[in-house]
Structure 1
Amino acid sequence: MAVATLFPGLALAAEAHELPGAAMSLWWALPFAGLLLSIATGPLLFHHVWEHHYGKISALWAALVVVPLALAFGMPAATEAVLHTLLTEYMSFIILLFALFTISGGILVVGNIHGTPAVNAGLLLVGAILASVIGTTGASMILIRPLIRANDNRPFNAHVVIFFIFLVSNIGGSLTPLGDPPLFVGFLRGVDFFWTTANLYQETLFVGGVVLAVFLAIDIILHRREGGAPQIKDPTPDTKVRIRGLPNIPLLAGVIGAILLSATWKPALSFSVLGVSLELQNIVRDAIILALAFLSLAVSRKSHREANGFNWGPISEVAKLFAGIFICIVPVIAILRAGHDGALAPLVALVTSPAGAPNDFAYFWLTGALSSFLDNAPTYLVFFELAGGDPQHLMTEAATTLVAISAGAVFMGANTYIGNAPNFMVYAIARHHGVRMPGFFGYMAWSGLVLIPTFLIAGFLFFG
């Protein structure tokens, strides 16, 4: 009954080795929506169950895709569709995150500086720049503890961490595929490495500049108010700042070099694995990145990682959840590729003008709105496919549309704690260090007052 409901034309599908998105109903999107809803609500509504069983929950939703696909379209089509996603996109995606997480975890910033408004703004600026080089996760993990230490004697310091999430954990990662997972997904789909740098820098400078200016104004006001309050003894007195774990820095450069190599070296050689074609340059890239990650474990001092609070929990959670996400999104992408002939035709109409041209303003806000509550990488992928899924077309004739999708996914991941992976990690670290962080809706009040007006202005200015 389930198979018949999901796909009424089984006779046609039996011979096809690709998924016929035009004939698939919206029921196929249910596991994808269920998994994303589980990710959004699990840590909040059933924290202990989620903490111990999120991998099983992800696997269950994935099974609700794989088994019906095999029954509806046959094992060859189901195997090819799922393996193609896992081998050509998921593996490269998680290898990069694993490497950036591992290598940055071996870099330790010791010492302390005084958290004045100018110093804090400087740290946020440096972190935002680093985010596009070593990723929002790497930059967040390296700099959040020094930022907390610099402000741990201030009675008002939660806003510093909130703006850190805005700028370092999200907005700053918009200039390269290394910066934020959505952009790396685009790179894996064929978007040139430096395309984002050349096409998103204006939007990034505007949004980042406005948010940083707002932070500086708020921090100056609160810093002056603190001047008349009883002084709190600094638990971490100012000392000279030093960077430990320096051998990891050239390893980060090696990761960047490996990605640039795969973008420029095209030997036109490929290997077939269970019917899935894997290009040589991508295999070499992933092998180099993986080797650099393990080399970091060998050359880094254990004490540095312990001081950073490094553990495998966060990357393990990301790996398990994204495996489920990449599988569950397979039928959704097939439906999106059908365009106006598919079950998601109303969504296609929503981001298309009456004349048939893409509505960039709608792409920016719809991508951003979903990225605020769902993970921004799969959200980017959904709208990337909705815009046609052809990287050459999206980088040229439809460049403003791809900019709108990229900006919406990266920028608006900052709207909630669950919009981007580093957000909740930074929140947890800050609370562990005694910062009185606002709750889920309290944080959204900050983002609503600061980010939403900024995004409205940016939307009209660049995409209106």
Structure 2
Amino acid sequence: MLKLLTAVLLLAPQAALAADLDGRTLGAAWALPFVGILLSIALFPLLAPHAWEHHQGKIAAFWAALVLVPLALLKGLPAAVGASLHVALLEYVPFILLLFALFTIAGGIRIKGNLHGSPLTNATLLLIGAGLASVIGTTGASMVMIRPVMRANDNRRYNVHVIVFFIFLVSNIGGALTPLGDPPLFLGFLRGVDFFWTTRHLLAETLFVGGVVLAVFVVLDTILYRRERDYFRPLPDPTPDNPRIQVTGGANFALIGVVIAAILFSASWKPGVTFSIGGVPIELQNAVRDIVFVAAALASLALTSPEDREANGFSWGPIAEVAKLFAGIFLCMVPVLAMLRAGLEGPFAQLVALVSNPDGSANTAAYFWLTGALSSFLDNAPTYLVFFELAGGEPRSLMTTGALTLAAISSGAVYMGANSYIGNAPNFMVYAIAKDGGVKMPSFFGYMLWSGAVLVPTFVLATFVFFRG
């Protein structure tokens, strides 16, 4: 397989392959490993779940090797090592350390007590979870809130819709307001997008989309709640109501503040000190930020009682899975991003034309829907980067003259990650937790019937209100 792909690449236009590739000279075959790893993530859990569970790291490594081995054969081992170090040290490591910190810290926050799952209570819990998502991340908010939501509704006959809307609002839409909220936005921050840019430019869109979805939930939950009350006998409650809510692991809130402060500090403190690792320049402020991420996570482990983590069902499995898969994804993206940076002179010229109006300006509706459609079935973080590069990849211009385009890319990646179970990492985590807790969750395509009925019309409305340019 490696020899075959190498031969294909040799027949493609020759490239000046190094850490900074010239996408104008790359053949489209260099994108095949990227497509392959994303299709593996989408299909293996459905078609071969046992093999995927035990060999996902090997599968990711295989696709990454299909980039690195031909690169080493064509341009030498230093070029392959340089490309790997560049993407690892400047993008992958900061990305995964932030996820690791938020995942670990949020896993130490435990909510005790049990509320009654009425429509008002459920709507309040979803609203709180959506608000937390931009502070502790969609993964963190999902972990903190899913069990209280399940306990509140474990004696209801109709509770599937509560978890489905939880995925919509807490695991996705609510994370649109800061780089902490969703991985795509943190990658944008690493590329130079200001920390509070999304807060300012996506607030109206997030309130609109989240408000419409929450309103639909309240109407539906009210109808089903009344039907249960009027036509069925009450089910026994396995977790009796206890309105006395207690939150333990409070030190973790302070540690989240430390993580936020580290990000803001790294964006404002510019000492001008740079050191090199393998020829890759590392700025001092970014190294300090990443060290703080690790220190905050370790502090959380030391300060949180094991009982609280056990009650939260905390395990290292989800973050280990994300770390392995994203290592492969980031490496496979190297040539793809180079080709996208080439714009109309590169192999993706037709895609560039698709998101451009006849006068050459950006078609924001196309950016919103194309980013969103791919984020529905592929991982939304690399999808965001693809369209970020397609829009020019220059953060200063995208935040100003291209603000509407960047807003369309950001919101499409975050919101439409909710369209399927595989659009965003927390989706499948919530699905697994709810299923283990006895909730009869819909199948992959059954879930998409929900998202198609609720989310797609909402996104159409958002297009007409915000992204008609």
Distance 1:236 1:385, change over 3 A: same
Matched AA of 1:25? G
Inter-partner Cα distance in structure 1 for 2:45 and 2:319: 16
The alpha-carbon deviation at position 9 of structure 1 amounts to 7.2
**2:429 aligned partner:** 425
1:452 corresponds to 2:449: no
Distance 1:207 1:17, change over 3 A: closer
Matched AA of 1:391? P
**1:196 aligned partner:** 198
Inter-partner Cα distance in structure 2 for 1:160 and 1:331: 41
Residues 262 and 281, structure 1, Cα contact 8 Å, conserved in 2 = yes
Match of 1:237 among 236, 240, 249: 240
The alpha-carbon deviation at position 82 of structure 1 amounts to 2.1
Match of 1:126 among 125, 128, 147: 128
1:77 corresponds to 2:79: yes
Match of 2:348 among 344, 347, 360: 344
3-state SS of 1:13 partner? coil
1:13 corresponds to 2:44: no
Inter-partner Cα distance in structure 2 for 1:404 and 1:74: 40
**2:438 aligned partner:** 434
Distance 1:220 1:82, change over 3 A: same
Distance 1:337 1:230, change over 3 A: same
The alpha-carbon deviation at position 17 of structure 1 amounts to 6.3
Residues 19 and 77, structure 1, Cα contact 8 Å, conserved in 2 = no
Distance 1:237 1:272, change over 3 A: same
Q: Which runs of 5 or more structure 2 residues have no equivalent in the other structure?
A: none
Inter-partner Cα distance in structure 2 for 1:217 and 1:338: 48
Match of 1:384 among 384, 388, 393: 388
The alpha-carbon deviation at position 203 of structure 1 amounts to 0.5
Inter-partner Cα distance in structure 2 for 1:176 and 1:8: 44
**1:366 aligned partner:** 370
**2:169 aligned partner:** 167
Q: Deviations over 1:217-263 (max 9, x none)?
A: 00000010001211101111111211111111111111111111111
TM-score by length of 1: 0.98
Inter-partner Cα distance in structure 1 for 2:66 and 2:374: 23
Inter-partner Cα distance in structure 2 for 1:238 and 1:37: 44
Inter-partner Cα distance in structure 1 for 2:227 and 2:112: 29
**2:147 aligned partner:** 145
Alignment size in residue pairs: 463
**1:39 aligned partner:** 41
Matched AA of 1:29? A
Inter-partner Cα distance in structure 1 for 2:116 and 2:76: 64
The alpha-carbon deviation at position 394 of structure 1 amounts to 0.6
Residues 140 and 422, structure 1, Cα contact 8 Å, conserved in 2 = yes
Match of 1:297 among 301, 315, 320: 301
Indicate the larger mover: 68-77 or 295-304. 68-77
Report the RMSD for the aligned CA atoms in angstroms.
1.2
1:207 corresponds to 2:225: no
1:406 corresponds to 2:393: no
Matched AA of 1:382? V
TM-score by length of 2: 0.97
**1:257 aligned partner:** 261
1:281 corresponds to 2:288: no
Residues 180 and 410, structure 1, Cα contact 8 Å, conserved in 2 = yes
**1:86 aligned partner:** 88
The alpha-carbon deviation at position 3 of structure 1 amounts to 3.2
The alpha-carbon deviation at position 7 of structure 1 amounts to 4.4
Residues 19 and 86, structure 2, Cα contact 8 Å, conserved in 1 = no
Matched AA of 2:203? Y
Inter-partner Cα distance in structure 1 for 2:10 and 2:260: 44
3-state SS of 1:111 partner? strand
Matched AA of 1:138? G
Match of 2:360 among 356, 360, 363: 356
3-state SS of 2:136 partner? helix
Inter-partner Cα distance in structure 1 for 2:178 and 2:136: 10
**1:106 aligned partner:** 108
Q: Deviations over 1:89-130 (max 9, x none)?
A: 100000000010101111111110001000100000010010
3-state SS of 1:278 partner? strand
Distance 1:173 1:447, change over 3 A: same
Q: Deviations over 1:402-441 (max 9, x none)?
A: 0000000000000000000000000100011111111111
The alpha-carbon deviation at position 83 of structure 1 amounts to 1.2
The alpha-carbon deviation at position 25 of structure 1 amounts to 1.2
Distance 1:172 1:413, change over 3 A: same
Residues 7 and 23, structure 1, Cα contact 8 Å, conserved in 2 = no
Matched AA of 2:50? H
3-state SS of 1:169 partner? coil
1:462 corresponds to 2:466: yes
**2:58 aligned partner:** 56
Matched AA of 1:414? A
Inter-partner Cα distance in structure 1 for 2:400 and 2:393: 13
Distance 1:17 1:63, change over 3 A: closer
**1:65 aligned partner:** 67
Inter-partner Cα distance in structure 2 for 1:12 and 1:425: 41
Inter-partner Cα distance in structure 1 for 2:269 and 2:245: 40
Residues 247 and 299, structure 1, Cα contact 8 Å, conserved in 2 = yes
Match of 1:22 among 24, 40, 46: 24
Inter-partner Cα distance in structure 2 for 1:434 and 1:360: 42
Inter-partner Cα distance in structure 1 for 2:194 and 2:355: 24
Q: Deviations over 1:145-181 (max 9, x none)?
A: 0000000010000000000000000000000000000
Q: Deviations over 1:312-336 (max 9, x none)?
A: 0000000000000000000000111
The alpha-carbon deviation at position 10 of structure 1 amounts to 7.6
Matched AA of 1:207? V
Q: Which runs of 5 or more structure 1 residues have no equivalent in the other structure?
A: none
Residues 16 and 25, structure 2, Cα contact 8 Å, conserved in 1 = no
Matched AA of 2:442? P
Residues 15 and 21, structure 2, Cα contact 8 Å, conserved in 1 = no
Residues 123 and 147, structure 1, Cα contact 8 Å, conserved in 2 = yes
Inter-partner Cα distance in structure 1 for 2:122 and 2:15: 62
3-state SS of 2:156 partner? coil
Residues 94 and 290, structure 2, Cα contact 8 Å, conserved in 1 = yes
